[in-house]
Every structure is written in structure tokens, then in C-alpha cells.
Amino acid sequence: MTRDDKKPDTDTELSAVVEGHATADPPSVDCLLQSPSDPCTLVIIGASGDLTSRKLIPALYHLFEKKGLPDRFQVVGCGRTALTDDEFRARMEKSVLENDEDQSLWEAFKVRLHYRVIEYDSADSYRELAEQLRELDSTSGTEGNRIFYLALPMFLYGTSAQMLGESGLAVEHEHGNGWTRIVVEKPYGSDRASAARLDEVVHQSFSESQVYRIDHYLAKETVQNILIFRFANAIFEPMWNRNYIEHVDIIASETLGVEKRAGYYETSGVLRDMFQNHMLQLLALTAMEPPSGFESDAVHDEKVKVFQNLRPFPTHNLFENLVLGQYRAGTVDGEPVRGYREEQGVDARSLVPTYGMMQVYLDTWRWQGVPFFLTSGKRLGAKLTEIVIKFKEVPVSTFRDVLGKHITANVLTMGIQPREHITLSFQTKSPGAETCLRTVKMNFDFEEGYAGPKLQAYEKAILDCMHGDQMLFWRQDGIDLAWAFIEPILKECESCKDPKRLLQTYKAGSWGPKAAVQLKELMVKQCR
């Protein structure tokens, strides 16, 4: 009698089964942190909002602690709320020190923070800002180098970019200006047409080389490491194709609900919020061909080819290729939570999806016939982002008389959050007289064996912008192609004659609608 022993999927399995985790040489001192960039001023437009206090200023403070900022560096916050410099600093201090145990450098950091009241649609306001920045350049030695970070609602991106142009602040290397860059948060448009209009407005004043469209997912360590893992090692890339891979899962799940973003989410839903940007970027990094060099344009060129080769989504048959869901009341982390329709600011009859799972294909030589399952949702069972490569089962039944026809296939998992790791599962014989298999794992953890500075996503993104490196940002043609793929799905969903049939509910704290599991099982079975 024989059997295939399956051990639980736990992080400790490797240490119990395989002696020694993946080991790594200590990092070179040169790799720990980039040298500080040119002197510069970071101008945050919309600085009285949540993004600035929750993400941007804490990221800058952490960089300051790690000596990652230039000695001559200033921050100017701009917003409609009337604040003095001291009031702005007090607001930022509360946010930063709530999440940072080291308060020793705050006094030295806060003197670099300034605030100015601004009207987002007033050219005079921006001209007055320009004068203040010139004075700051003179007193602090920032040499006219500026980053304008638009921490604004999407509908104000174009207005602010236009005002920056009219006031002369977009010009580089003239009128006392040094280099100039503009950072734009997602969402970049609500559809293909609005994204194109926004680009047209931005490019009236800024060249493409000045524009940094941020996607903080791209700045996560494991995401950055995908290309290194694939193209700096000889053992995986030869198998990275349809001959050896059965399917690919790309998952981004959240335990949080809509929180305070109901106004935005009611007009976006999960497809606009996650699929058009984060999910397609992860797909591109997983599926792209080797770039000619590890530099911005070469990497973007290969990403664009992935978007160009996406098979048009079969919108005539949504139900066999897409599952949408909306969370109802349930339990998350042991606490009862409301359903989406009970959230503050949400329509009680809302049909906005909070969960999506779609299968997509790439019509390329490498990936023909391999399904990619993209899954993202709110109020799911755990906060988890990972890419899972499911290899094909062994084709020769050498062990059929001993183990039967089925042997568990190898799985490669690239964990992005909450734990950044790379894990490979494989089969070994269990000790004992009988021939039984067990699944064991080789695991590499980004935290293990490393004591140097650790950069959070926004820290890395800000640092790259200071250095003029656009690799981890979106390029204009990539944005357009991503919208071109997603927009037909959105139109079909929003014009569906029976939206209630398309939108299924799932209990908060679960892993989504049962139909998603059924669809995936069916499609995997068909591709075997």
C-alpha cells in the first residue's frame, strides 16, 4: 500500500525537513543605500491631506535617519488649509513619531519642513510659490532642483500640472531652475480617454522624462527582485515557459474594507483600483522577456510588449472568464465587520465589486496556452500579495506502480507582502520502509541574514525620483495599453443586463466567492 504524504504549508517546514535555509553573502557596503542625490526641494501639493502625513513625511524622515537624503534638502508643503510652518510641523510630528521609536533626529529634520497656503487653480498662487522656492534655493543651497509631488485627488492632477507650467515651475535649467520632476499618484485616469487627456495636459508643460507615475507596488523589495531572480540565475529561466509551467497565480488580497475611501471606491471598484495598475504590473514582470539592459527604457520596452500581447478579453462570455464579488458582513481577525453596502458613504444598493478574479492569456511563443489567474479583493482571509508559479506534473509515470498516477507538482512562490520571500516546493521520500512522498521546501527570506537599512516602498520610490531613475514608475505607453485591455471589461460589466448575476457576494474574512474557485479548477483541468 502506498500514499503521497502531504505536509502542511508552513513557514517552519523547511527548517524541520531540509537542513539549512538559503544562505547569502553579506551585502556590499555600496549596496546598502544609494549615495545622496543632488541638493533639491520636494514640493508636496496637497500636503494637508492624509497621504502626506501617513506616507510621505514618514518616508522622508526614515531616509533622513538612514542618511539617504542630500545635506541640502528642503520640503515645502502646499495646501488650501491655512497652516503656519510650526502648525504643519506639529501635524507631521504626531504622525511620524507614532510609528517611529527613534525621535532623536526629529528636531534636526523638522526645520527642513515649510508650508504655504495655495489655491490649486490659481496661477498667482503658483507664481508666489515660485518666488518662495527661489528664496529657499538662495538660503538653503538647493540649486533650483525640484520635485513636485501631486498628493491630490485625481481630478486636480491636470489643473496643478497646468498651473506649474504657466508659472514657469516646469521649466528645467532656466530662470534659476535646475532639474524639475513631477510625481503623479494613481489612479492615472478613470479610463483610457481620461488618461490620454491627462497626459496631454501634463505634456504641455513637462516632457516624458520629467514625469514619474508612481505605483508603490513596484518599489517593494520582492517585486524589484523578480527580474534579478529570473535573469541573474541560470536555473529557472530555461523553464520559464509553456513547456514547464501549468499556470500562474498573481494574488493581492486585503483584510481591510473600503475604510474612508467610499467616495473614490464607489466610482472605481476593484478593476480600476487594482487590476489596471498593480496586477498588470506584476503580470508584466512575471511574463516579460529579458531586457537588453537593466535600465529604465529597456525594462519598460519589454513590459509594453507584454501588454501588447495580452489576448483581448472575451467580453462576450464574461461568466466563463471573470468572477466579481462584493463582501458582506463577516469576521476579520476575530472582529465582526460590516458588509460593503453598510459602509459609510456607500450606496445601500451598490453593485460595485470589491473582489475580482480573471484569467488572462498572452499570445506569445513563451506563454501560449498558459493561464494567468489575477485575483484581488478586500476583506479577505489575510493580507497577502504573492506570485505563484505552478509547474507541470512530471510527464513520465516512473513511479505509477508505487505511487500511483499523481505526483504533486513543484510550486515556486514569490511572496511580496506581508513576508518577502521566495519558496520552492519539491518532492522527497519520507523516511521509512514504504515508498511515500512528502512535500518539502527551500526558502529564502529577505529579512534573514541582513542587518542593513531596509527601504519601504515609498522610501524607495522617492529616492529613485531624486536620482532620476524611472524604472519603478509607469511610462505613458504602458498606461495607455493597460487601459486598452481593461476598458472593454469595464464597459461590458457596467452595461451588463444582469449585473446581480455577475456580482456575487462573499463573507468578509473568507477567500472570496466560491465561483472563483470553481472557475479556476475548471480552467486548470482544461489546460492539463
391: its cell numbers: 509547474
393: its cell numbers: 506534473
325 touches 505 (CB < 8 A): yes
410 touches 440 (CB < 8 A): no
Hey, is 7 helix, strand or coil?
coil
User: How far are the Cα atoms of 90, 141, 276 from residue 259, in angstroms, in the given order?
Assistant: 25, 42, 21
249 touches 512 (CB < 8 A): no
List strand residue ranges (DSSP E) for 169-321, in order: 180-184, 211-214, 245-253
137-141: long-range contacts (C-beta < 8 A, 24 or more apart)?
Answer: 137/41, 137/176, 140/39, 140/41, 140/72, 140/74, 141/39, 141/72
Active site residues: 278
List strand residue ranges (DSSP E) for 186-237, in order: 211-214
Distance CA 411, CA 424 (A): 6
- CB burial string 234-266: b at 16+ within 10 A, e below: eeeeeebebeebbbbbbbbbbbebbeeebeebb
Q: Is 144 left (phi over 0), alpha (psi -120 to 50) or beta?
A: left
Angle between helices 123-140 and 157-166 (to 10 degrees): 70
Q: Burial of 419 by CB count in 10 Å (0-12 exposed, 13-18 middle, 19+ buried)?
A: middle
